[in-house]
Structure 1
Amino acid sequence: MNIVILSRNANLYSTQRLIEEGENRGHEMEVIDPLKCDLIIEKEKPTIYYKDRYLDYVDAIIPRIGASVTFFGCAVVRQFEMMNVFTSVTSDAIIRSRDKLRSFQRLSKAGIGMPKTVFTNYSRDIEKVLSHVRGAPVIIKLLEGTQGLGVVLAETKSAAESVLEAFNGLQARALVQEFIEEAKGADIRVLVVDGHVVGAMKRQGKEGEFRSNLHRGGTAEIIKLNETEIKVAMKAARALKLPVCGVDMLQSSRGPLLLEVNSTPGLEGIETATGKNIAKSIITYIERNRR
């Protein structure tokens, strides 16, 4: 098969691993920058022009679309879908997962446990907002934030009021979420491929840091999930219709609580921590479904 990875950086670990595993299985692998694609929209003949050629030979794509280019990146994925090219993750699923409020609403309806969350339309009654999540400390998250950016721990009521007033003043929409103290700055990242858990790691934030993101200095180790955690991960992937995704959750006194579902999860941390060949699982998933 001719498999295209939609990525702006061909040197990233995840991109390189997907190329390596695809080539090992006899596929032609190519990296294409989605922002350099021209979308040609014509009756019954949608096409994509890239540099000096039409991309009419592609059998499957693997979107590695960064959050900052979601709009145009998903337009490119959608164009490939119109050309009947198989994609490991659909454009609609990426958009759905990138909208934190929309995804939380869907996950809540699916009966998945999560930290209690409040969203208001720039409410000035901040004290009431905080009371909905049992008061400070609270986590405040920008709707558009990624990789731990735009996430603030407000340890006191006055700190929460200051942050929310600042966000409101900037007309930046934010979620207010209860702080799960017993998680102790750690979370679980679970990789789901085609409805199956293929790897899981526990990430621990560095000293004094409540965010566990590895690129912010966190560490990771392999973890054995219990049955409930496995069910939550698979249920979340189904609820957002993401055949390939990273599911983040906290271990709490009331069971696993879902934090986020990532439609383009990085592979370096979890492959290093678990020793699992996640890239191969993704290529195998494409092979099964493309046929």
Structure 2
Amino acid sequence: MRITVFSRGPSLYSTRRLVEAGKARMHWTEVTDHALCSPFLAQGNTAILLDGKPLDLPQVAIPRIGANITARGASIIRHLDILGVPHTLNADALMLARDKMSCLQVLARNDVPIPQTILCFSTREARLAAKRMNSYPVVVKLLESTHGVGVALATTPFQLERIVEGFLRFQDRVILQEYIAESRGVDIRAFVVGDRVVATMERRATGDEFRANIHRGATARAVQLSPEDEALVLKAARLVGVEIAGVDLLPSQRGPLLMEVNASPGLEGIEAATGVDIAGAIIDYAVSKVST
């Protein structure tokens, strides 16, 4: 079977592992840079152009959309729909997952436990929002962020204003969230493929860092979710509509809180921590979409 992985970086660990897993299963697996792709529409001649030439269409596609070209990636995915090419990432789900506030709104509406969160469009709003939270520190986030970039901890009103002012130069909105002190820099990343959790790891921040991201030096180990937490993870992924998802839980005194549903989760940290062939599970899932 011919499989195309849409990815900006063929040398990235996650992309390489998908290609390796595909080839190990005797599939023709190739990488296409979606930053070089353009949707083309014409009566009776619709195509995806790669460097100006029609792309040879795969039997199934695995989109790994870069955070800085989300809109372009969503457009490519919608074009795959027009062309009848099965794939593993819904365009609307990608856009929803990349907007942290919109994602949390969908989860909250469906009774998924989340941290206290306030959307702010100005420094003044952020200052008032922090007062409502009634305690410092406060977590400040850009709506689109990855690997912990665009996430900061404000410990004083003055620091809050400086962080918000800086973030608002990049986006027109920020979100403030309560700081869950009892988590002690620990979170849980569950990796969902289709309708099952295939691997789970606990990430632990090091030193004074509060962000439990592997790219920030966090350590990781394999853990097992309780049936209740697994059901929560699958519910969150289903509500957002992401078929291959990294779902992040934060432990708290009132139970696990849903932090994020990641639409293009990395494989390196969780495969190393758990020993699970997640790339293989993704390839098998992609192939199953063709046979069904």
TM-score after normalising by structure 2: 0.94
Q: 1:156 to 1:275 in 2, by over 3 A?
A: same
- Evaluate the alpha carbon distance shift between residue 215 and residue 127 of structure 1 in structure 2; reply closer, same or farther with a 3 A threshold: closer
Question: Partner of 1:19 in structure 2?
Answer: 19
Asked if the contact 1:154/1:160 (under 8 Å) is kept, the reply is yes
Q: Determine the C-alpha separation between the residues in 2 that align with 1:78 and 1:159.
A: 42
Is the CA contact (8 Å cut-off) linking 2:121 and 2:172 kept in structure 1? no
Deviation readout 1:12-37 (Å, 9 max, x if unpaired): 11111111111111211010011112
In structure 2, the gaps of 5 or more residues are: none
Query: How far 1:53 sits from its partner (Å)?
Result: 4.9
Give the equivalent residue in structure 1 for 2:222: 222
**2:212 corresponds to 1:208:** no
Residue type of the partner of 1:280? Answer: G
Q: Give 2:35's aligned residue.
A: 35
Percent of residue pairs identical: 40
Find the aligned partners of 2:282 and 2:170 in 1 and give their Cα distance. 40
Q: Which runs of 5+ in 1 are unaligned?
A: none
Q: Deviations over 1:222-260 (max 9, x none)?
A: 111112221221011001011110001101111110111
Instruction: Write out aligned runs for 1:179-190 (5 A).
Output: 179-190=179-190
Q: How many Å separate the matches in 1 of 2:181 and 2:86?
A: 42
Residue pair 2:140, 2:175 contacting (<8 A) in 1 also:
yes
| Structure 1 equivalent of residue 118 of structure 2 | 118
Residue 155 of structure 1: aligned partner: 155
Q: Residue deviations 1:41-79, cap 9 Å, x none?
A: 113542112248533431111111111111212211221
In the alignment, what sits opposite 1:234?
234
Question: CA 1:52/1:14 → structure 2, altered by over 3 Å: closer, same or farther?
Answer: same
Q: What secondary structure is seen at the aligned counterpart in 2 of 1:252?
A: coil
Deviates more, 1:42-51 or 1:273-282: 42-51
Match of residue 137 from structure 1: 137
1:159 deviates by 2.1
- Deviation of 1:120 (Å): 2.7
Aligned residues: 291
Deviations 1:240-287 (A, max 9, x none): 011110001101111110111110000011010001111111111112
Q: Which moved more, 1:220-229 or 1:189-198?
A: 220-229
Residue 4 of structure 1 is matched in structure 2 by 4
Distance in 2 separating the partners of 1:169 and 1:268: 32
The alpha-carbon distance between structure 1 residues 191 and 96, as it changes in their structure 2 partners (threshold 3 A), is: same
Q: CA RMSD in A?
A: 1.7
Against the structure 1 CA distance between its residues 28 and 123, is the aligned structure 2 distance closer, same or farther, given a 3 Å change threshold?
Answer: same
- Aligned-pair CA distance for 1:163: 2.5
- Report which stretch shifted further, 200-209 or 51-60: 51-60
Give the conservation status (yes or no) of the 8 Å contact 1:107–1:236: yes
* Match of residue 83 from structure 2: 83
| Cα drift, residue 164 of structure 1 | 2.8
Query: Would the alpha carbon gap of residues 116 and 199 (structure 1) be closer, same or farther in structure 2, given more than 3 Å must change?
Result: same
> Which residue of structure 1 aligns with residue 107 of structure 2?
107
Provide the TM-score with structure 1 as the length reference. 0.94
CA distance in 2, matches of 1:125, 1:87: 41
Cα separation, 1, equivalents of 2:248 and 2:141? 15
State the match for 2:260 in structure 1: 260
Contact 1:232 1:256 in 2 (8 A): no
Q: Mean Cα displacement is larger for which, 202-211 or 116-125?
A: 116-125
Distance 1:214 1:167, change over 3 A: closer
**8 Å CA contact 2:142, 2:171 repeated in 1:** no
Q: 117-126 or 67-76, which moves further after superposition?
A: 117-126
Runs of 4+ in structure 1 off by over 6 angstroms are: none
CA distance in 2, matches of 1:193, 1:175: 29
* Distance (whole Å) between structure 2 residues aligned to residue 179 and residue 25 of structure 1: 45
